[in-house]
Structure 1
Amino acid sequence: MGFPSPAMDYIENRLTPESICGINSNSLIIETSSGFAVVERGSKPKTGDYVLVSWLGHNYFARPAGRALITEDGEAIEGEALDDVEVIGVVTWLVNRALDDEAPVM
């Protein structure tokens, strides 16, 4: 009862990882050694994108380069070895842990 508060015009939505990273039903959140990676399963990878792939029973982060995939450690997956690779999705966000940082910024 009464009139609405003028302060209602200045209320903002709370920031959440879902709203910042655009997480939806096609997204995967993968824990990494330095934090988390958000992987979009519905996106088609392009040259230069960071992708999550499954190869020989392990998951790897890699970048497509022509007809090859270059993993984080510099190994190239190419030729017939690509037959065993399954591209899971494109990495859209990398979120680093703040608590484990040895050089925090204030």
Structure 2
Amino acid sequence: MGFPSPATDYVERSLMPTDACGVGAQTRILETDTGYAVIEPAASECASDVLLILSDGRTQFAKLVGGALITDDGEAIEGEALADVEVLGRVTYFINRIREDDDCPVM
């Protein structure tokens, strides 16, 4: 028998993205080159939202600025070209991966 250790009161469970990011039933987590992106359905877009879009047959991230979408490579999609863009969701969080070979990881 014995008694339970008082140290168990101070044991923390592992932090999961689902706890930190408020992941719901419609949330998608997409793996990126630098980590992960948490994607929520985009009911309505607001200025400066980062969106996951489908354009020219490829998915990419774009920032909504005014009436245009600015992609990661700096290209502006505006005007009639926006008709060919499908918004897949709104990015709520980017989670950066910490690599073991990184000399200066950001935590």
Report TM bin, short chain: 0.7 to 0.9
Residue of structure 2 equivalent to 1:71: 71
CA distance in 1, matches of 2:46, 2:106: 33
Structure 2 unaligned blocks of 5 or more: 1-6
Residue of structure 1 equivalent to 2:4: none
Q: Secondary structure at the match of 1:82?
A: helix
Contact 1:62–1:70 under 8 Å retained in 2 = yes
Change (3 A) 1:93 1:101: farther
Aligned: 1:104 with 2:105: yes
Contact 2:42–2:89 under 8 Å retained in 1 = yes
Q: Residue by residue, what CA displacement relative to the aligned partner does 1:20-66 show, whole Å, maximum 9, x if unpaired? A: 11111111111111010001114422101111111111011011112
Q: Secondary structure at the match of 1:44?
A: coil
CA distance in 2, matches of 1:71, 1:65: 10
**Residue type at the aligned position of 1:103:** C
Alignment map for 1:30-69 (pairs within 5 Å): 30-69=30-69
Return the TM-score normalized by structure 1. Answer: 0.80
Change (3 A) 1:96 1:67: same
**Aligned length in residues:** 101
Contact 1:53–1:59 under 8 Å retained in 2 = yes
Structure 1 unaligned blocks of 5 or more: 1-6
The alpha-carbon deviation at position 96 of structure 1 amounts to 0.7
Change (3 A) 1:9 1:33: closer
Q: Percent identity?
A: 49
